[in-house]
Amino acid sequence: QQLVFATNNKHKLEEVQAMVKGLFSIQSLSEIQCEVDIPETADTFEGNASLKSEYILSNYARDCFADDSGLEVEALNGEPGVYSARYSGSRDMEKNIDLLLSKLADKTNRKAQFRTVISLRLGGEHHFFEGIVKGSITQERIGLRGFGYDPIFIPDGYIKTFAEMSADEKNQISHRAVAIQKLVTFLKNR
Provide the terminal-to-terminal Cα distance of the chain, rounded to the nearest Å: 11
- The footprint of ligand ITT on this chain (CB under 6 A) covers a number of residues equal to 21
CA gap 15, 31 in Å, rounded:
17
Q: What are phi and psi of 4, to 5 degrees?
A: -80, 135
Q: Is 92 a catalytic residue?
A: no
CA gap 73, 94 in Å, rounded:
18
Point out the catalytic residue in the list 43, 63, 67, 68.
Answer: 68
> What is the nearest approach in angstroms of ligand ITT to the Cβ of residue 80?
8
Which of the residues 101 through 120 are near ligand ITT (CB under 6 A)?
A: 114
For position 72 contacting ligand ITT by CB under 6 A, the verdict is: no
Q: Are the C-beta atoms of residues 72 and 137 closer than 8 Å to each other? A: no
Q: Which is nearer to ligand ITT, 46 or 127 (CB)?
A: 46
For position 151 contacting ligand ITT by CB under 6 A, the verdict is: no
For position 69 contacting ligand ITT by CB under 6 A, the verdict is: yes
CA gap 127, 98 in Å, rounded:
35
> What is the nearest approach in angstroms of ligand ITT to the Cβ of residue 81?
9
Residues of each annotated binding site for substrate: 7-12, 69, 147-150, 170, 175-176
Give the closest residue to 18 by CA, choosing from 154, 177, 164: 177
Contact positions vs ligand ITT (CB under 6 A): 7-9, 12, 40, 67-70, 84-85, 93, 114, 146-150, 162, 174, 176
